[in-house]
């Protein structure tokens, strides 16, 4: 595979997936793009987070399920390459653009698997730290039926997926998935390309964990590794190194401003990521949002 250049350019919007975003999508006009990653492993792009799936001899292991209305289209895309059923749906985190289809796939017979914190967030509901918008909790088959703590291996006949929890990165319940036989890593939203990443600080996210996740991907990757981000184009080890460099620079600049005693409004006014804004084509709102999520993930906790 030719190296795929790191790209944080294009849309320039910081995504906070929820009901409002889902309502803005005309699902009838959404086409699912399938990319063959080799060794019966595929990437699907539609509406919501990227999907990865691996085909075994008696079933499919699928990573993420996009928004709920995408179920039929995702199922059709999988059926176009295999007649095997989806046995497992792995959630990389709790946001609705990655978990919305869980209930429908569970009703089809799939086991939904996630880190234990994902189930807690989905059941209790959550708050958006930037907008204070509330997402209500879910019940029944919309919740993962199998959870794990730090690591888990899922298997279908002839294929396996290694699930690993990364601490406090995009959220407090992130999972990345390794399909070792295909040399594929599925990262969820610890990696977002084509726009600024979201760091869901109100739900356990922290830029330091995002960087730690990148370190893990870079350490296990070689020149041929295919890395499926939560959003954006397929990338590789060189792309991950460039993405990590941006996160490290953002962390270091913000830490300096916080050490100087700057408030949230002070750092917004300082525009510490103006050079990155140009690279991603960020508008004022997405630029401000990224400043705020980095600041809030690093600011010292208030003393009681």
What are the pLDDT tens digits along the chain (304 aa)? 333 333 433 344 454 555 556 668 999 999 999 999 999 999 999 999 999 999 999 999 999 999 999 999 999 999 999 999 999 999 999 999 999 999 999 999 999 999 999 999 999 999 999 999 999 999 999 999 999 999 999 999 999 999 999 999 999 999 999 999 999 999 999 999 989 999 999 999 999 999 999 999 999 999 999 999 999 999 999 999 999 999 999 999 999 999 999 999 999 999 999 999 988 889 999 999 999 999 999 998 665 5
Helix (H, G, I), strand (E, B) or coil at 7: coil
Is 12 contained in some domain? no
E strand residue ranges, the chain:
33-38, 41-45, 51-55, 60-63, 86-90, 111-115, 126-127, 134-135, 146-148, 151-156, 159-166, 174-179, 184-192, 226-231
What span, in angstroms and rounded, lies between the C-alpha atoms of 47 and 84?
A: 23
Given the structure tokens 């291996």, which residue do they identify?
153
Strand pairing partners for 188? 229
Half-sphere exposure of 159 (CA within 13 A, CB side): 25
In sequence order, which residues have a C-beta less than 8 Å from that of residue 26 and are 6 or more positions away?
none
Is 259 contained in some domain? no
Q: What are phi and psi of 251, to 5 degrees?
A: -60, -50
Structure tokens at 157: 């006949």
Is 225 contained in some domain? yes
CATH number at residue 184: 3.60.15.10
For residue 136, the enclosing domain spans 19-236
Is 73 contained in some domain? yes
**Taking the model in full, what pTM does it have?**
0.93
Is 266 contained in some domain? no
3-state helix, strand, coil in the chain (%, to 5): 40, 25, 40
Is 298 contained in some domain? no
Count of structural domains within the chain: 1
């Amino acid at each position: 595979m030719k190296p795929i250049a790191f790209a944080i350019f294009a849309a320039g919007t910081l995504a906070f997936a929820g009901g409002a975003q889902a309502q803005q999508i005309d699902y009838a006009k959404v086409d699912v793009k399938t990319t063959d990653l080799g060794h019966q492993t595929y990437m699907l792009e539609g509406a919501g987070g990227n999907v990865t799936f691996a085909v075994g001899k008696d079933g499919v292991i699928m990573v993420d399920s996009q928004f709920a209305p995408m179920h039929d289209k995702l199922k059709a895309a999988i059926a176009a390459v295999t007649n095997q059923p989806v046995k497992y749906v792995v959630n990389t985190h709790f946001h609705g653009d990655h978990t919305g289809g869980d209930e429908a796939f569970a009703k089809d017979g799939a086991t939904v698997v996630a880190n234990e914190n994902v189930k807690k967030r989905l059941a209790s509901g959550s708050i958006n730290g930037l907008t204070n918008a509330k997402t209500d909790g879910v019940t029944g088959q919309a919740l993962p039926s199998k959870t794990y703590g730090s690591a888990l291996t899922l298997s279908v006949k002839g294929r396996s997926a290694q699930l690993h929890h990364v601490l406090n990165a995009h959220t407090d319940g992130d999972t990345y998935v390794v399909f070792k036989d295909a040399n594929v890593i599925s990262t969820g939203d610890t990696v977002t390309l084509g726009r600024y990443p979201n760091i869901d600080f109100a739900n356990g996210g922290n830029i330091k964990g995002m960087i730690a996740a990148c370190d893990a991907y870079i350490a296990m990757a070689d020149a041929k590794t295919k890395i499926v981000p939560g959003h954006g184009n397929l990338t590789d080890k060189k792309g991950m190194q460039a993405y990590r460099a941006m996160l490290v620079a953002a962390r270091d600049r913000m830490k300096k401003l916080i050490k100087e005693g700057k408030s949230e409004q002070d750092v917004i006014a300082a525009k510490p990521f103006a050079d990155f804004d140009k690279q991603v084509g960020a508008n004022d709102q997405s630029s401000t949002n990224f400043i705020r999520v980095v600041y809030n993930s690093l600011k010292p906790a208030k003393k009681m």
